[in-house]
């Protein structure tokens, strides 16, 4: 965030709004579990 704030101060014309939230998610899944998809009858 400090890098983005410094960049915004140096070149404010490049920034149209606030700096977006830069936090990372706590858990990341490569292949998250999905709800089973019900299959149509006869398949």
pLDDT of residue 13: 92
pLDDT of residue 10: 94
pLDDT of residue 31: 77
Tens digit of each residue's pLDDT (9 = 90 or more) over 1-43: 889 899 999 999 998 888 888 888 888 888 777 766 666 665 5
Half-sphere exposure of 18 (CA within 13 A, CB side): 3
36 phi and psi, to 5 degrees?
-60, 140
pLDDT of residue 40: 64
């Amino acid at each position: 965030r400090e890098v983005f704030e410094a960049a915004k101060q140096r070149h404010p014309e490049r920034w149209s709004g606030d700096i977006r939230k830069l936090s990372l998610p706590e858990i990341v899944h490569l292949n998250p579990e999905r709800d089973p998809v019900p299959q149509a009858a006869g398949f």
